[in-house]
Amino acid sequence: MDQLIIANRPFRSRLMVGTGKFASNLEMAETIAASGAEIVTVALRRVNIDDSHDDLLNHIDRDKYLLLPNTSGARDADEAIRLARLARAAGCEPWVKLEVTPDPYYLLPDPIETLKATEVLVKDGFTVLPYINADPVLAKHLQEAGAATVMPLGAPIGTNKGIKTRDNIAIIIEQASVPVVVDAGLGAPSHAAEAMEMGADAVMVNTAISVAGDTRMMAAAFAQAVMAGRQAYLAGLGQEQHQASASSPLTGFLRD
Amino acid sequence: MSFCDIIKRYPRQQVMEQIAAASGAEVERALARERITINDLPLLLSPAALPYLEQMAQKANRITKMRFGNIVQLYTPMYLSNECSNGCKYCGFNASNRIPRTTLTLEEIKHEAQLIHDYGFRSILLLTGEHPKLADNKYLVAAVEAIKPLFASISIEVYPMETAGYAQMVAAGVDGLTVYQETYDRQLYAELHPYGKKSDYDWRLQAPDRAGAAGLRRIGIGALLGLGEFASEAFYTGLHAWYLARTYWRSQVSVSFPRIRPANGGFEPLHHISDKQLAQMVCAMRLLIPDAGLFLSTRESAELRDGLMPLGITHMSAGSCTAPGGHSHKEESTEQFTIDDDRTPEQISAVIRAKGFEAVWKDWDSAFLNADVG
């Protein structure tokens, strides 16, 4: 059985979805169900994490989904660490999607502060899933610091542009010893399938689903694309040919 | 987490079945990929891949040119001691063998090093057996410090150490480590290493992990070819290198391909490894890890070494002698094994040039490690 395993915890679905930008919380809940996702992110700045009557949180069945709080809005490591601890204190599982985005325009992740926060949170017992630019060396540093996954962006968040960082993501996938989750920029199911065909372990999608004409149908479409891409990867794609051009033989001299 | 945890995920029986079941079509699919994965490795090492050896060689040649250029780096080994408390059945230094035992003094080391330096070498590999009293960490540090002014790069191939020991070596000026697992087959390992510290399989298997943790810049591994079954040994060697390259990502991983040679004690290889299989393994390692150093020593014949050069070999030894003090006293027979390619360093570098490669004598500088410089 092909499972996604993060920090020793198995998941059947390789699609993670976000909870932002939906027209209503009911629509959000139904869309999440249609996506088949088991990991659902929520921005701590959007909810009253310690309020049992919070409407958004009450629409997410925590027996069914792993609620993954994100630190979106944090501008440095200290802010992100505070938010993560707040969520844990409020009863969330000690998992955090770490987002440190000092630039309010493209919301690009700050590599230095992200690494700092990861080091602190891992020591503090958190399972840390950092959102990063597609930087293979940063991915290595984070892995060494104990990150449970790395989540490189395909394109700036919310842009729907697809995998613009393809070559660097390929290097991260090639070198990583933790799951690689392609996050941000995936605007169409075909983008998600492409990431999975490349060998990504999972993808994270929010905007492309939450602003679709029919969010439930789009969620199902992403779910199928993720499965199709994963199956194609496992099946072994018929690759473009990289065969050698005929040249002088290199092995003629060898004996049995 | 160490390689001991990783190797458990690839049970021997399963790996051997995968290798046996490989088909030509699967090999073709793997070869068509831009990069092969660890799951493709059993295919490329299988008998089914032998008919595709020329395609593998062309691809390995192309990748090596792209990553390394047309170069071969030259180094030479220098044996410091043949004292040993291990009983490795295939080794000339086996504690049960009655041979003259020597441990070079610092003066002898300097003399020997000067001769090697005068041949033109700036990369040297220091070797010892495993004798905790006669050749220990302190002895090695003294040896390294004594020869440091002569060499740009100093590597060691000695007994496995604790992480702190490796850190001590780095501080002294060592930048590379070679440690062969000999065989990845745990049961066979136990039979071949009946006594001595080396009988501890896991301690040896984790030595590259400890070296990586201590910050050694180059980590070399290998299986002694001819001990275990070929394809599975080659697979575990590749798996080990692949794991090390990912985990200790600041270090360069290298793989050696030592085939058993005649040695004191008269050990016969348990498996015949053909020249074609050796070439197959070289190519498979290159396809798996494009940036790995691939070492071929003077164990192999001049003809084979020259022929394998374009298939992905990046490092070759030359002018080798496997006895302590062998450059100063050529007549004495206390060698670890008999070499085959006995051409001089000049002859070998001339052949390298004739084949269109550059012979590189120096590709490192001790200033990287020496905080006092500048």
Tell me the per-residue pLDDT of B72-104, one tens digit each, with 9 for 90 and over. 999 999 999 999 999 999 998 999 988 889 999
Dist CA A19 CA B149 (whole Å): 63
Q: Is residue A253 part of a domain?
A: no
| B284 vs A contacts (CB less than 8 Å) | none
Residue-wise pLDDT for B273-288, tens only, equals: 999 999 999 999 999 9
Q: Looking at the DSSP assignment, which residues form a beta bridge with residue A41?
A: A18, A68
Residue B351 has pLDDT above 60, yes or no: yes
Rounded to the nearest 5 degrees, what angle is found at the Cα of B28, between the Cα atoms of B25 and B31?
A: 155
**Chain B residues with CB inside 8 Å of A197's CB?**
none
A182, A132 contact by CB (below 8 A) = no
Would residue A251 count as lying in a domain?
no
Measure the CA–CA gap between A238 and B364, rounded to whole angstroms.
41
Among B163, B224, B164, B160, smallest CA distance to B196 is for: B160
Q: Tell me, yes or no, whether A75 lies in a domain.
A: yes
Mutate to test the interface with A, among B249, B280, B311 (most CBs of A within 10 A): B249
**CB spacing of B29 vs A244 below 8 angstroms:** no
User: Within 13 A of B175's CA, how many CA atoms are on the CB side?
Assistant: 19
For residue B201, is it within any domain? yes
- A245 is a domain residue: no
Beta-carbon neighbour count of residue B228 at 10 Å? 24
Expressed as residue numbers, the domain containing A53 is 4-235
Residue scoring higher pLDDT (B24 or B65) = B24
> Could you give the CA distance from residue A227 to residue A156 in angstroms, rounded to a whole number?
24
If DSSP states are collapsed to H, E and C, what string results for B218-268?
EEEECECECCCCHHHHHHHHHHHHHHHHHHCCCCEEEEECCECCCCCCCCC
CA distance A156 to chain B (A): 27
Best mutation target, B44, B243, B246, B273, to test chain A (most A CBs within 10 A):
B246
Q: What is the mean pLDDT of residues B219-246?
A: 97
Partner residue opposite B61 with nearest CB, options A174, A238, A250: A250
Q: How many residues are there in chain B? A: 374
Q: Is residue A15 part of a domain?
A: yes
> Which of the four pLDDT bands, split at 50, 70 and 90, describes residue B339?
confident
Position A24 scores a pLDDT of 81
DSSP-based three-state secondary structure for A196: helix
Size of interface A-B (CB pairs under 8 A): 58
In this prediction, residue B374 has a pLDDT band, given cuts at 50, 70 and 90, of: very low
Residue B247 lies in a domain: yes
Residue environment code for B136-165, b if the CB has 16+ CB neighbours within 10 A, otherwise e: ebebbbebbeebbebbbbbbbbbbbbebeb
Catalogue the active-site residues of A.
Answer: 97
Task: Let me know if residue B374 belongs to a domain.
Answer: no
Sign of CA dihedral B325, B330, B335, B339: positive
Q: Indicate the DSSP class of residue B149.
A: G
Asked if B225 and B297 count as a contact pair (C-beta separation under 8 A), the reply is: no
| Arithmetic mean of pLDDT, B316-338 | 81
Q: For position A70, which CATH number holds?
A: 3.20.20.70
**Residue B295 clears pLDDT 50, i.e. is over it:** yes
How many domains does chain A divide into? Answer: 1
Q: Which pLDDT band holds residue B369 (cuts at 50, 70, 90)?
A: confident
Look at residue A254 and tell me if it is in a domain.
Answer: no
**Residue B351, SS3 per DSSP:** helix
| pLDDT for res A138 | 97
Domain count, chain B: 1
**Is pLDDT larger for residue A246 or for residue B151?**
B151
A101, part of any domain: yes
- Helix or strand run (H / E) with residue B207: helix B207-214
Residue A250 within a domain: no
Residue B373 lies inside a defined structural domain of this protein? no
> What does each C-alpha distance from B128 to A15, B167, B169, B200 come to in angstroms?
54, 18, 14, 18
What range does the domain containing B23 cover? 3-368
CB contact under 8 A, A253 and B307: yes
What is the model's pTM? 0.82
CA distance B193 to B88: 5
Q: Tell me the pLDDT tens digit for each residue of A218-234.
A: 999 999 999 999 999 88
Mean predicted lDDT score pLDDT of chain B:
92
pLDDT digits (tens, 9 = 90+) for A128-177: 999 999 999 999 999 999 999 999 999 988 788 899 999 999 999 998 98
Q: Report the residue of chain A nearest B272, measured CA to CA.
A: A256
Is some CB atom of chain A closer than 8 A to the CB atom of B284?
Answer: no
Per-residue pLDDT of chain A (256 residues; tens, 9 = 90+): 789 999 999 999 999 999 887 778 888 899 999 999 999 998 887 777 777 777 777 788 888 999 999 998 888 999 999 989 988 888 888 999 999 998 877 889 999 999 999 999 999 999 999 999 999 999 999 999 999 999 999 998 878 889 999 999 999 999 898 999 999 889 999 999 999 999 999 999 998 898 888 999 999 999 999 999 999 988 877 655 555 555 678 888 887 7
Residue percentage of chain B with pLDDT more than 90: 75
**Domain assignment present for B79:** yes
Helices B163-172 and B207-214, axial angle in degrees (round to 10)? 50
CATH number for the domain spanning B132: value is: 3.20.20.70
Query: Would the pLDDT of B229 be above 80?
Result: yes
pLDDT of residue B180: 97
Which amino acid, A42? V
Cα separation, A34 vs A29, whole angstroms: 9
Tell me the CA distances in angstroms from B170 to B67, B158, B270, one per residue in order: 27, 14, 37
Determine the distance in angstroms separating the CA of B295 from the nearest CA of chain A, rounded to an integer: 18
Confidence at residue B131, expressed as pLDDT on a 0 to 100 scale: 92
Give the number of other Cβ atoms within 10 Å of residue A205's Cβ: 29
Q: Could A239 and B35 be called an inter-chain contact, meaning their C-beta atoms sit closer than 8 Å?
A: no
Residues of B with Cβ-Cβ distance to A177 under 8 angstroms: 246-247
Who among A174, A240, A251 is closest to B53 (CB)?
A251
Q: What is the pLDDT of residue B186?
A: 96
From residue A211, give the alpha-carbon distance in Å to each of A225, B110, B149.
18, 74, 67
